[in-house]
A and B are shown apart, each in its own frame.
Chain A
Amino acid sequence: MTATAEPAQLHRRRVDWTNVAMGTWGVLMFAFLFAPIIVIVAYSFNTGRLLTSWNGFGVQGYTDLFDNPVAQSTVWVSIRAGVIAALVSTTLGSLAGVALARRPGRWVPFFLVVLTLVLVTPEIVDAVALLPWFVRLGTDWGLVAFSNGLVRLVVAHSLFAAAVVALIVRARMQGLDESLEESAADLYATPWNRFRQITLPLMMPAVLAGALMSFTLSLDNTIISSFISVTGNTPWPVYVFSSVRSGLRPEIAAVSTLMLLLTLVAIGIVGLVLRRGGESSGGIARTMTGG
């Protein structure tokens, strides 16, 4: 790129056509990727009775949403489940991640196998595994907590998320020099102080990113939720899914748009946190995909 003018120009003239083709492909891809999202946002302003046929522009979908206590309660269920699931999975995952990075031993391969299995198991298998299990725990063995819809959602949503957090935190800790913690120990810091004053601040970007990711994963979870959710504690995607069969109304697009905004804000914060932590865009992509 910083080559002398003449070869650069020769080079450019030859490159052009593939670049144009690839650029066109790129633009088409973005159009493809965004088409349904733009449509949903646009149709949330549809005033028709049915979502599919466009009638006119208006905010009726949103006002309907505010007059619909069922829809609103599903949003609150999702947010509550998301926050608690994020706390649970971040705590479990962070501790596991630190242990993976700092306490290597013979247990690590076994644990990684379980983590990998959790990550690669299709959601529907988790769903069909958890439904009978919750019934067994809650009804057959009398652990009534597992008949509670919120508990079920939190447990189900925290599994995948905890595995993701563990990997993110492990990656972060492996990238950090252990000598900081060792020197704190040399200076007679107690293990707790060492953890609080050295380890925790160092791992914080990964923990925060993990927490926000767990939250959004929970907010969006549809497959497992639709199996295990209990009447009265229905999260919003399950509500939307049930209306696919009973008839889509503009308020469904309105609630989807609002939840999309919420997710994007959360993701934006993750991106900022990671960027301030000095990650490259490739690193962010890696983190976001849980690899």
Chain B
Amino acid sequence: MSDEVLATPGVRKWRAPGFALALPAWAWFVLFFVLPVGFVILLSFGAKPDIFRPYSLEVLSFDQYAKALDPAYGPTLKNTLRVGITGTIACLVIALPFAYWLAVRVPPRWRGLLLGLVLVPFWTNFLVRTIGWQLIISPDGIASSVLQQLGIISQPLNFLYSRSAVLLGVVYNYLPLMILPLFVAFDRLDPTLREASKDLGASRFRTFTQVTLPLAMPGVVAGLALVFIPLMGDYITAEVLGGAKGNMLGQLIASQFLSAQNWPLGAAMAVLLMLSITVTGLLFALIGVTVRSALRRRRRIVIDTGEVAA
């Protein structure tokens, strides 16, 4: 449309193609994202020839993948998946009532302020927040002294550098990424739909599970993805709260690149990380789609009688 308008002033000028304005960004992404990631995938088939060079691409093989999955490193992938899935589900369970409350129950004039408050931790440095938790749960920290004073524990709290501490850390760190899309989803919903559901005699629970939640599903899916993907690649939380145990894949990858200088092995681990994120995501998507279609079939409404079938 605008092309025709532009063409009207008589002289037909040469017009740059549509993507011209996006060309600098294209070039940037290709040069510093597509090519480097491609190179890392290539690197994962390479080998570490000697202690002086981080990699060599003379012989390409799957050796690094075999090594990354062998008993020395394999369990870490499993543990990362476990932390990733548990943490993501915990985030959803914790954030769901909170986001609903924030978007629906809180009076509108408070909503902006409270949402702003939720954004504060989101924008506080990730590492700093994690160090904050270290201060709280360390043996000479606040939680320990409070619990000892209350007589709940007699010894200093022994919680830091454990798996549960890492789980606490990741749930905390990625919680805002779950709250925000859920809030947006609930905020968008038309309140009259809930009222209609209520007027038709549905209980509050039923309204939530059959009206509100299905409509907020895009937010739930976005939240799950926003939490799960970075959580799987996290190594800072595990490093600060899990100690040197190295239970997350991210820590292993970092050590291959930063201390062991075995880049091909680290690259293979990074590719495995991406694959496991993708496969898990697809698996859950498949489960979700199946469950949804099963539910839809069960709740199908037969129009001519006006009754809910079965």
Contact with A along B117-142 (1 / 0, CB 8 A): 11111111111111111111010111
Question: B83 interface residue, CB < 8 Å from A?
Answer: no
Do residues B127 and A241 form an inter-chain contact, with CB atoms below 8 A? yes
Residue with the greatest number of chain A CB neighbours at <10 A, chosen from B135, B136, B233:
B135
Do residues B39 and A136 form an inter-chain contact, with CB atoms below 8 A? yes
**Which residues 259-284 in A have Cβ within 8 Å of B in the complex?**
259-260, 263-264, 267, 271, 281-282, 284
How many contacts between A and B, using CB within 8 angstroms?
A: 278
Contact of A237 among B111, B127, B136, B229 (CB under 8 A): B127
Given known pairs A40-B131, A222-B127, A241-B236, the reply for A29 and B273 (CB within 8 Å) is no
Which residue of chain A lies nearest to B35 when distances are taken between CB atoms in the complex? A133
Which residue of chain B lies nearest to A37 when distances are taken between CB atoms in the complex? B124
Contact of B124 among A107, A120, A122, A260 (CB under 8 A): A260
Given known pairs A34-B120, A43-B135, A53-B140, the reply for A128 and B266 (CB within 8 Å) is yes
In the assembled complex, the CB of A123 is this many whole angstroms from the nearest CB of chain B, namely 6
Which residue of chain A lies nearest to B103 when distances are taken between CB atoms in the complex? A282
Do residues A102 and B2 form an inter-chain contact, with CB atoms below 8 A? yes
What is the size, in residues, of chain B's interface with A at 8 Å between Cβ atoms? 101
Contact with B along A102-140 (1 / 0, CB 8 A): 111101000100110110111111111111110010000
**A51 CA to B142 CA, complexed, in Å:** 12
Do residues B111 and A281 form an inter-chain contact, with CB atoms below 8 A? yes
What is the size, in residues, of chain A's interface with B at 8 Å between Cβ atoms? 96
**A25 CA to B105 CA, complexed, in Å:** 12
**A169 CA to B197 CA, complexed, in Å:** 38
Do residues A35 and B222 form an inter-chain contact, with CB atoms below 8 A? no
Given known pairs A25-B101, A128-B270, the reply for A33 and B127 (CB within 8 Å) is no
**A136 CA to B31 CA, complexed, in Å:** 12
> Could you jot down 27 A-B contacts, CB within 8 Å?
A22-B100, A33-B117, A36-B128, A37-B121, A95-B21, A95-B22, A98-B21, A100-B22, A103-B19, A104-B18, A121-B37, A121-B274, A129-B33, A132-B39, A132-B54, A155-B32, A159-B29, A159-B33, A216-B123, A219-B125, A220-B126, A226-B258, A256-B128, A264-B120, A282-B183, A285-B184, A291-B222
Known: A33-B117, A240-B125, A285-B184. 17 other contacts (CB 8 A): A18-B204, A26-B101, A26-B102, A30-B114, A33-B120, A36-B132, A40-B128, A111-B26, A128-B267, A216-B123, A227-B258, A240-B128, A241-B127, A244-B127, A260-B124, A282-B103, A282-B187
